[in-house]
Structure 1
Amino acid sequence: MANIKNLDLNLLRVFDTLMDEKNVSRAAEKLSVSQPAVSGMLTRLRHSLNDQLFIRSQHGIVPTIRAQALSGPIKKLLRELDAVLEPTVFIPHEAELTLSIAATDYSLNAIVEPFLQALRQQAPKMKVAVRWINEHELFEQMERGTIDFALTTPEAAPDELHSRTLFNETYVCVLRNEHPLLENKSLTLDQFCNVEHAIVSYVGGAFEGTTDTVLRSLGRQRRVVLSVPSFLSLASILKNSDLCAVVPKRIMKNMHDLTTVKLPFEVPGFTKIVAWHERSHDSEAHRWVRELLSATCKEI
């Protein structure tokens, strides 16, 4: 009795072609192999299935009763195997995937919000789960499949991940619309240092950042009186106080009742990337999502 564990599936393709062509030479040509190679594979098939399968005739070969009985099931099996191995065609409008994205509140505002607007239009059945990013556990989470995409910076992304640059961000100074310092539509370095500031600290409680490092190099210092863990809370505070803040320019797009002023000195910006694991690198669906993320970031 034939054992599927010991049967070379390539032999089934030869059997199916011989059934179609009823001729060894034509079968060899169709399979792009030599006639002796087909004859050798037929010998192996006969041994595996314990039947002659094909009998020589004046016009080629004639299938045995056993071969005729096997023909339909084998052709069906080969069709199903081809369907399984055929690359999946990704159709955004029909896709019902759930994406998991790791992000900060800045990335949620500057990247995820515009991305979701485009996603709802092009792939309305897809779902998105946003999680706060944990850079210490990010690689492990991606390896397990808990996170599909991470919106982070090149410095924070594990070296083992793939990544793509989304944009380069810059900083601006922000005050409420009716702030007394806006009379001249600009800030001097003295005004900037003398006004009270609020700062965002994801780690919690920090009263210094990149801006303060630059000021120290200029021999100056600002007055940071408030530290909050979120840009979302910072916006509300700025609207209702005379505090000033240095924030990434992109999130100002969704902040109302606030005015942007150019900084009186240069503060280095940062690069935002999308990172992903090797396990999803060749996925057509994930490749499409990465392209959409990139496209929506360029539009802002």
Structure 2
Amino acid sequence: MHLRNRDLNLLVALDTLLKEESVTRAAQALHLSQSAMSHALARLREMFGDPILVRGPRGMQPTPRAEQLRDQVARTLRDVESVFANGPFDPATTTHTFYVGTIDYVELTLWLPLVERVRRTAPGVRILVRPITLDKYQEDLTEGRVDMVIGFIRKPPAQAHKRLLFSEDYACVTRAGLLQTGEPLTLDRYLAAGHIQVSPSATFTGVPDLALAKLHLRRNIVMAIPRYFSATDIAAHSDLILTVQSRIARRFADSLPIRIFPPPFALPELKLSMLWLARTHRDPAQQWLRELIADVSRDI
């Protein structure tokens, strides 16, 4: 197969169709007529020997083959854009799409001030956020599904560039009336209570359990749940204790009936970092976003 026999503009059409999952919206995004977009889809179907988009119960849906192509096509177009990029990156006029892998913690602490800054300085920018886990984030980076990852990553790969954003410690969250006013959360009370654990990877072991194990102690985890809000809401309305990052506890202090206590045993400091690979290291758009994230992090 020779590239000269292929219309590479069809990759732009394919990328937009997979993002919008609608011929009408894809046509609008590319400033084409609906008939031109339908013609492009017909050519894509012929090229790949696959329907690409099929009608489902909630509109058009990508086929399994199209899902396989989604990340590869997006990555290819980003690489092509970087080839033709020249001159300084202008956030005020760019329509760049960034792909960032993050943990739930980042969504609750960093994204609101970041998106407000982006809307002021780069109104055409879009950010697609993908959830990551510690066991798969390297694959997301190397295969180009994300441009960078942000998380509490203790042992980053040797080939990755890393930038520390800020440090974090722990707090214990209980419902407001679990302990009497002025009563401390002692280690005995902590160990006697039931606990809820935030666990995106669906395990019953977290940092507090590793710290307790060094003291030959163990807590009783009643539930592990992947989201911070759900865990904090349950702690606010039950007798379960949640041990969580301090900024998360403070994030919900005004909206939920909770009390916040220092942990009754030593826990290690966490470091939120940003990681990226050589592929995006010198890209002006990526450099701009990394500096913006670092700047917002300093305010946090």
- Alignment partner, residue 242 of structure 2: 245
1:157 is the counterpart of 2:153: no
Q: What CA distance in whole angstroms lies between the structure 1 residues aligned with 2:171 and 2:157?
A: 29
Q: 1:123 to 1:190 in 2, by over 3 A?
A: same
Identity %: 29
Deviations 1:124-167 (A, max 9, x none): 21111011115555444334432111013343532211111111
Deviations 1:146-200 (A, max 9, x none): 2111013343532211111111111111112x22215215311112112221111
Alignment of 1:1-300 (within 5 A): 87-176=86-175, 178-184=176-182, 186-204=184-202, 206-255=203-252, 256-257=255-256, 258-300=258-300
Deviations 1:58-92 (A, max 9, x none): xxxxxxxxxxxxxxxxxxxxxxxxxx999422222
Which AA in structure 2 matches 1:92? P
Q: What CA distance in whole angstroms lies between the structure 1 residues aligned with 2:89 and 2:105?
A: 30
The answer on whether the counterparts of 1:135 and 1:157 sit within 8 Å (CA) in structure 2 is no
The more displaced of 236-245 and 213-222 is: 213-222
Which AA in structure 1 matches 2:179? L
The answer on whether the counterparts of 1:185 and 1:261 sit within 8 Å (CA) in structure 2 is no
Deviations 1:35-77 (A, max 9, x none): xxxxxxxxxxxxxxxxxxxxxxxxxxxxxxxxxxxxxxxxxxx
In the TM superposition, residue 123 of structure 1 has moved relative to its aligned partner by 1.4
Which AA in structure 2 matches 1:294? A
Which AA in structure 1 matches 2:289? V
Q: What CA distance in whole angstroms lies between the structure 2 residues aligned with 1:199 and 1:237?
A: 11
Q: 1:187 to 1:135 in 2, by over 3 A?
A: closer
Q: What CA distance in whole angstroms lies between the structure 2 residues aligned with 1:270 and 1:158?
A: 18
Q: What CA distance in whole angstroms lies between the structure 2 residues aligned with 1:137 and 1:291?
A: 25
In the TM superposition, residue 284 of structure 1 has moved relative to its aligned partner by 1.7
Q: 1:182 to 1:214 in 2, by over 3 A?
A: farther
Q: What CA distance in whole angstroms lies between the structure 1 residues aligned with 2:85 and 2:181?
A: 66
Q: What CA distance in whole angstroms lies between the structure 2 residues aligned with 1:112 and 1:138?
A: 19
Q: What CA distance in whole angstroms lies between the structure 2 residues aligned with 1:101 and 1:183?
A: 43
The more displaced of 290-299 and 250-259 is: 250-259
The more displaced of 119-128 and 210-219 is: 210-219
RMSD: 2.3
Q: What CA distance in whole angstroms lies between the structure 2 residues aligned with 1:288 and 1:169?
A: 25
The answer on whether the counterparts of 2:97 and 2:126 sit within 8 Å (CA) in structure 1 is yes
Q: What CA distance in whole angstroms lies between the structure 2 residues aligned with 1:238 and 1:175?
A: 6
User: How many aligned residue pairs are there?
Assistant: 215
The answer on whether the counterparts of 1:172 and 1:263 sit within 8 Å (CA) in structure 2 is yes
The answer on whether the counterparts of 1:186 and 1:262 sit within 8 Å (CA) in structure 2 is no
Secondary structure of the residue that 1:165 maps to in structure 2?
strand
The more displaced of 96-105 and 132-141 is: 132-141
Q: What CA distance in whole angstroms lies between the structure 1 residues aligned with 2:84 and 2:178?
A: 68
Deviations 1:81-121 (A, max 9, x none): xxx99942222222211111111112222223332222222
Q: 1:184 to 1:276 in 2, by over 3 A?
A: same
Q: What CA distance in whole angstroms lies between the structure 2 residues aligned with 1:156 and 1:189?
A: 30
The answer on whether the counterparts of 1:179 and 1:242 sit within 8 Å (CA) in structure 2 is no
